[in-house]
Amino acid sequence: MHNRKAVIMKIILTVLAMAGVITIAVVAPALPAALGAIFGPAKQYSNKQLKRSLANLKKNGLISMSYEGKNVVIKLTKDGKEKLLKYQLENMRIKPQKHWDRKFRAVIFDIPKEYKQASNLFAQKLKELDFVMLQKSVWVCPYPCEDEIDFLKEIYHVRPFVRLATIEKLDIQHDLIKKFNLKA
- Locate the domains of the chain by residue range: 2-89, 95-179
pLDDT one-digit tens code per residue, 49-99: 777 888 888 899 988 888 888 777 888 888 888 888 888 888 889 999 989
First to last CA, the chain: 46
**What class is the 2-89 domain?**
mainly alpha
| Reported confidence tier of residue 2, pLDDT bands at 50, 70, 90 | low
122 versus 43: the higher-pLDDT residue is: 122
Rounded Cα gap, residues 162 and 5, in angstroms: 36
Specify whether the CB–CB gap between 96 and 114 falls below 8 A.
no
pLDDT recorded at residue 1: 43
pTM (two decimals): 0.67
Query: Does position 29 have pLDDT exceeding 60, yes or no?
Result: no
Asked if domains 2-89 and 95-179 share a fold, the reply is: no
| Reported confidence tier of residue 27, pLDDT bands at 50, 70, 90 | low
Nearest to 104 by CA among 149, 142, 148, 144: 142
> Going along 69-161, which residue ranges are E strands?
71-76, 104-109, 132-135, 138-141
**What class is the 95-179 domain?**
alpha beta
Rounded Cα gap, residues 40 and 18, in angstroms: 13
Rounded Cα gap, residues 184 and 173, in angstroms: 10
Alpha-carbon dihedral sign for residues 27, 24, 89, 179:
positive
DSSP element (H, E) containing 67: strand 63-68
Mean residue pLDDT across the chain = 84
